[in-house]
């Protein structure tokens, strides 16, 4: 199943209480591939590494009606 299909399926379901359910549905390899395809990488450890930024952006799409702080609280 493509990522677009996975996102459509996820959006059609009830909003989960945490992003952990959502994170389990998307293979971590997809996140790594997306970062490699964009030419970005976390060379040094930052407060918010590139992988977490990707999850945050996905969470912001899933929780469009919530603040970024709320979405950050749901990241596990």
Q: Count CA atoms closer than 13 A to 21's CA, side-chain side.
A: 10
Cβ neighbours around 5 below 10 Å, total: 9
Q: pLDDT of 9-63, one tens digit each? A: 777 665 666 677 777 888 888 888 888 888 766 666 667 788 888 888 888 888 8
- Please report which residue ranges of 1-76 form alpha helices under DSSP H: 3-12, 19-25, 28-38, 50-62, 68-74
Nearest Cα to Cα of residue 35 among 18, 52, 16, 22: 52
CA distance 60 to 66: 8
Q: The whole model's pTM is what?
A: 0.60
């Amino acid at each position: 199943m493509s990522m677009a299909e996975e996102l459509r399926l996820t959006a059609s379901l009830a909003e989960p209480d945490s992003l952990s359910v959502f994170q389990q549905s998307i293979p971590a390899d997809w996140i790594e591939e997306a970062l490699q395809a964009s030419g970005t990488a976390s060379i040094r450890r930052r407060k918010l590494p590139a992988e977490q930024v990707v999850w945050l952006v996905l969470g912001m799409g899933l929780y469009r009606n919530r603040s970024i702080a709320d979405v950050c609280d749901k990241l596990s």
